Chain A
Amino acid sequence: MSKSSWGYLLLLLALVAAPFVGAYPVFMMKLLCFALFASAFNLLLGYTGLLSFGHAAFLGGSAYIAGHAMKVWGFTPEVGLVLGTATGALLGWLFGLLAIRRQGIYFAMITLALAQMVFFVALQAKFTGGEDGLQGVPRGSLFGVLPLQSDLTMYFVTLVIVVAAFALIVRTIHSPFGQVLKGIKENEPRAISLGYDTHRFKLLAFVLSAALAGLAGSLKTLVLGFATLTDVHWTASGGVILMTLVGGLGTLSGPLVGAAVVILLENKIGEMGHGLASLTGIEWFTTLGESVTMVTGLIFVVCVLAFRRGIMGEIIAFLQRTRKA
């Protein structure tokens, strides 16, 4: 346990130092939000074994509510974040009630359908601004005293919140509750026969996952100043699945790595394409670089076929093997 703690400490130090060595704070904050989103999602998929194809509803739904609260109702940021998290939890509870009874693919389909409904509500509702999105959400002052306009201040506040949420996830995994979840994932009938009310546990996991996803969405709105349809579109649900898959299902650090890889890819693929093209002289790399979609698709395919444990999963397995040798 202590060895991994050292690893996390180092990571934390790196994150604290980042803006001072030249990292772009807004980009880092976006990364942190998605890392939280992926970790929340992993709680449900990697540890409870439920694939939700509708997590965008929690990310985006909370983003809109939090944004509206801060912009139109004039609440301070921490209230906005709390409202957003609560929205995620509520949506998660509603989705969960409808979906938990079903297994596997049907569960995924229901979550997708419900998320689509949330999407269309977001499209039609006046307050979301439809295609235009909810723009101009103010940063405000945290608790009314700490102004958040400065990117640096916002960054550290974001870091604290994300670290706290992540710590919560870690605690949950290692708690008795988390053990039951793992048991359900591995063999649900057995868990039932042992007397556990698996439906209740699954629902609780769903709500927790949705609430934290909601926190990620609200935080993102606060940082970037807007909430748009991209946040509730099913491609966002697909994106978080990819992040978790690439990083490593069922590992704690996997989603963090996955989020970093995917976000980096999305933003820098253009430059990477150019770089590879000039290096190798093959023009096609530039075209590949311009298509984030294609690269994402390629990674999905490769991961499912050959790389199912994801980056961290493979690393951990490798280390365990070498330890045994």
Chain B
Amino acid sequence: MTISLPALLSQLLLGLVNGSFYAILSLGLAVIFGLLNVINFAHGALFMMGAIVTWMAMNYWDISYWVMLVAAPLIVGVFGVLIERLLLRWIYKLDHLYGLLLTLGLTLLIEGAFRSAYGVSGLSYDTPDALTGATDMGFMMLPNYRAWVVVASLVVCFATWFLIEKTRIGAYLRAGTENPRLVEAFGVNVPLMITLTYGFGVALAALAGVLAAPVIQVSPLMGQNLIIVVFAVVVIGGMGSIMGSILTGLGLGVIEGLTKVFYPEASSTVVFIIMAVVLLIRPAGLFGKEK
């Protein structure tokens, strides 16, 4: 099979779109792990909730996509806050692994609930009117919606990075990650910060879900396939590093796209191979700090 430039470019562009999802999701995961020390396995299910809540709103109450772009993350974010207050906070003192297991259980609960309501086949979700149609890039027709996804993701990622690295709130967050007692001694309400952080991370996942709905099929299991890859992304990037997660997410999306051109069968495995290699050479991840 001769590799043509159009083929290469088109897959790279698609890879960038996928990478945008990886970036937002791994960002949320990194933020949560950074402050709570919890591996939020439920991230995939919450991503799915964002998409399904949007679908429900569109289908049952005719609410527009643009409203849901803001509403869905809020709704799911509140749900995340509830999870943190009612369930997560009991396990902070325990081994990391219980956090993983608890959120794994949550994933099964959430996915199971939606699955029994909606089955596993896709629920159809149309692209919002303003974004339909495609632009002729010469080497392919790029659906406008996908371009929007990349732009929106970059904006969100950059905004989050700015918030955490350059603002005072972000400073409290970073300080709280390193030394919660001391920060509390300074009068900052650390438990509240933790709760809100979890809610924020969850909201990011839900936002990714709203963005993803027209691209991949909305189904109760849509998060399952994605979450394992996102984990790999976070581990490669380095847990707790914001910029690391964003760059790694985008980068891996592109690498996946490239693999699809040269050796399609390996495209699902390439992320894990990279992860194994990175863990051997740089155990804390490419951008991470050893905790």
| Direct A/B contact, Cβ within 8 angstroms | yes
Binds A, one of B137-145, B149-157, B268-276: B268-276
B96 near A297: Cβ-Cβ < 8 Å = no
Q: Is the CB of B101 within 8 A of A98?
A: no
In angstroms, how far is the closest chain A Cβ from the Cβ of B188? 27
**Residues of the B chain whose Cβ atoms lie less than 8 Å from the Cβ of A298:** 105, 109
In the complex, A145 has a CB within 8 A of chain B: no
Question: B231 near A: Cβ within 8 Å?
Answer: yes
Contacts of A109 in B (CB 8 A): 231-232, 235, 275, 279
Do A300 and B97 touch across chains, with their CB atoms under 8 A apart? Answer: no
Q: Is B106 an interface residue (CB 8 A)?
A: yes
B256 at the interface (CB under 8 A from A): no
**Which of B101, B108, B228, B231 has a CB less than 8 Å from the CB of A245?**
B101
Which residue in chain B gives the minimum CB-CB distance to A110? B279
How far apart are B45's CB and chain A's nearest CB, in angstroms? 9
Residues in A with CB closer than 8 Å to B102 are 300-301, 304-305
Say how far B282's CB is from chain A's closest CB, in angstroms. 12
B174 within 8 A of partner (CB): no
Other-chain contact of B269, A117, A234, A293, A296 (Cβ < 8 Å):
A117
Q: Is the CB of A112 within 8 A of B109?
A: no
Which residues in B have their C-beta under 8 angstroms from that of A301? 87, 102, 105-106, 109
Chain A positions 100-127 with a Cβ under 8 Å from a chain B Cβ: 101-102, 104-106, 108-110, 112-114, 116-117, 120-121, 123-124
Q: Which residues of A contact B101 (CB under 8 A)?
A: 241, 245, 300, 303-304
Interfacial chain A residues near B265, Cβ < 8 Å: 124
Q: How many residues of B contact A (CB 8 A)?
A: 38
> Chain B residues with Cβ under 8 A from A182's Cβ?
none
A149 adjacent to chain B (CB < 8 Å): no
B273 pairs with A117, CB closer than 8 A:
yes
Segment touching A, from B11-19, B57-65, B110-118: B110-118
- CB distance A291 to B115 under 8 Å? yes
The CA of A241 and the CA of B101, in the complex, are separated in Å by 9
Given contacts A102-B279, A300-B101, whether A293 and B272 have CB atoms under 8 Å apart is no
Task: Give the complex CA separation of A183 and B189 in angstroms.
Answer: 40
Given A98-B279, A109-B235, A301-B87: A104 in contact with B95 (beta carbons within 8 A) = yes
Residues of A near B95 (CB, < 8 A) are: 104
A-side contacts of B266, CB under 8 Å:
120
A108, B100: Cβ atoms under 8 Å? Answer: yes
CB distance from B17 to the nearest CB of A (A): 22
Contacts of A304 in B (CB 8 A): 91, 98, 101-102, 105
Q: How far is the CA of A68 from the CA of B80 in the complex (A)?
A: 46
Q: Which residues of B contact A303 (CB under 8 A)?
A: 101, 105
B104, A117: Cβ atoms under 8 Å?
Answer: no
* Minimum C-beta distance from A130 to chain B (A): 11
Query: Which B residues are in CB contact (< 8 Å) with A305?
Result: 87, 90-91, 102
Given contacts A102-B279, A106-B235, contact A297 B108 (CB under 8 A): yes
Residue A153 lies at the interface, judged by CB distance under 8 Å to chain B: no
Whether, in the assembled complex, B170 has its beta carbon less than 8 Å from a beta carbon of chain A, the answer is no
**Known contacts A291-B112, A297-B112; A113/B272 CB under 8 A:** yes
Is B39 an interface residue when CB atoms closer than 8 A count as contact?
A: yes
The answer to whether A106 and B105 have CB atoms under 8 Å apart is no
Determine if B280 is an interface residue (Cβ-Cβ < 8 Å): yes
Q: How far is the CA of A104 from the CA of B100 in the complex (A)?
A: 11
Residue contact B104 to A110, C-beta cutoff 8 Å: no
CB atoms of A117 and B272 under 8 A apart: yes
Check B105 against A293 for contact (C-beta < 8 Å): no
What is the bound-complex CA distance between A290 and B268, given in angstroms? 31
With A and B bound together, what is the CA distance between A290 and B119 in angstroms?
11
Given A108-B100, A298-B109, A300-B105, answer yes or no on A293-B231 (Cβ-Cβ < 8 Å).
no
Does residue B107 face the partner (Cβ distance < 8 Å to A)?
A: yes
Residues of B with C-beta under 8 A to A241:
101, 104
A294 interfacial contact with B, CB 8 Å: yes
Q: For the complex, is A51 an interface residue (Cβ under 8 Å from B)?
A: yes
Given contacts A101-B283, A113-B232, A116-B269, contact A300 B108 (CB under 8 A): yes
Q: Point out the residue from A102, A234, A293, A295 that lies within 8 Å of B111, measured CB to CB.
A: A293
B90 proximity list for chain A (CB < 8 A): 305
Q: Cβ of B107: which chain A residues have Cβ within 8 Å of it?
A: 297
Q: What are 13 A-B interface contacts by the 8 Å CB criterion? A: A98-B276, A106-B279, A108-B97, A109-B235, A113-B232, A114-B276, A116-B232, A120-B266, A120-B268, A120-B269, A124-B265, A295-B112, A296-B105
The 7 closest A-B pairs by CB, nearest first: A300-B105, A297-B108, A294-B112, A293-B112, A297-B109, A301-B105, A291-B116
State the B residues within 8 Å of A (CB). 39, 87, 90-91, 95-98, 100-102, 104-113, 115-116, 228, 231-232, 235, 265-266, 268-269, 272-273, 275-276, 279-280, 283
